[in-house]
Copies of this chain bind each other. A is one copy, B any other.
């Protein structure tokens, strides 16, 4: 018989929390007991898991008694405060917030890229930023076979990355625009409907946003290569689900696009969609609910054999968050 685990989801009523529950179910994770935790405001809500209705409980310091694995996705300050209690109770925390990601003794893991890091954990394993995860999946075969020197990435990020309220804002604001009604932004600093906001998260002193710096720093940590030069521009687009990325890379060895396509096809977690003649390439509307990260539009730079461009799309709530966390848990229990 398979061993079964007591799993807690912290932030169970949020956009990512609900995807975590859904993903545990879709992947048939060996759950013994599922504990759903949220703020006092959401406590008492009922959520579906398989054929059960589970009551959401209020998150407290005592919530983690008997829990083996705690999936956190309720914001950095909640992780900061409650992850230590989970660890003290003997649970392994898989944290979807940015709070622990760059801490030296916390592994930052994309299971297809650096699974070995999982087993160095001291109680907490960090789930990388959504836009980092899908990018490093596409970069890993390049780094392994061609030597990765430089990455210039521009993102096209969906509103679901911000949460449920942002999804509502895009819906309501788009409707208002089409009906020629006024709608004052509540979630974003500017209008998002039929617009672009070249700012995700707050600005750092160096002019980059935190989201951009996450892509720069997390990539180096996950790939175990501090020398990879990453430049990132992160942009919010009026799309509900699915982050897209335009990626330019420079490599040590010359690039053969057919070979690279072959490497991607063989790489776990990637799906190659790259048929220009049929106008087939990854698009966010085709990513919703899909576990794989989609890559396409690969072409060699016109100026250099050591550079190429491509396009990467993934469901930001799944591979960018819930799925990656559950995959970490799967690897963890496989040992």
Contacts and interface: CB of A to CB of B under 8 A. Distances in A.
Given A178-B178, A208-B299, 9 more contacts: A152-B248, A190-B279, A194-B285, A198-B244, A198-B296, A207-B257, A229-B301, A231-B301, A231-B309
A206 interface: yes
A298 interface: yes
A9 interface: no
A249 to B, nearest CB: 10
Which interface residue of A230, A283, A304 has the most chain B CB atoms within 10 A?
A: A283
Contact of A154 (B175, B238, B246, B296): B246
B196 A283 contact: yes
Contact of A302 (B231, B240, B246): B231
A12 interface: no
A285 B303 CA distance: 34
A277 B199 CA distance: 11
B196 A237 contact: yes
Contacts of A307: 231
Interface residues of A, number: 57
A239 interface: yes
Interface in A226-264: 229-231, 233, 235, 237-240, 244, 246, 248, 257
A216 B257 CA distance: 20
A171 B281 CA distance: 24
B299 A196 contact: no
Closest 6 CB pairs of A and B: A207-B299, A154-B154, A154-B246, A203-B276, A229-B303, A195-B285
A281 B199 contact: yes
Contacts of A199: 276, 279, 281
Q: Give how many copies assemble into the complex.
A: 2
Interface in A144-163: 150, 152, 154, 156
Interface string A198-210: 1100010011100
A277 B203 contact: yes
A335 B207 CA distance: 43
B156 A207 contact: no
B246 A235 contact: yes
B231 A283 contact: no
A195 B279 CA distance: 15
Contacts of A237: 156, 196, 237-238
Interface in A279-320: 279, 281-285, 296-304, 307, 309, 311
B216 A302 contact: yes
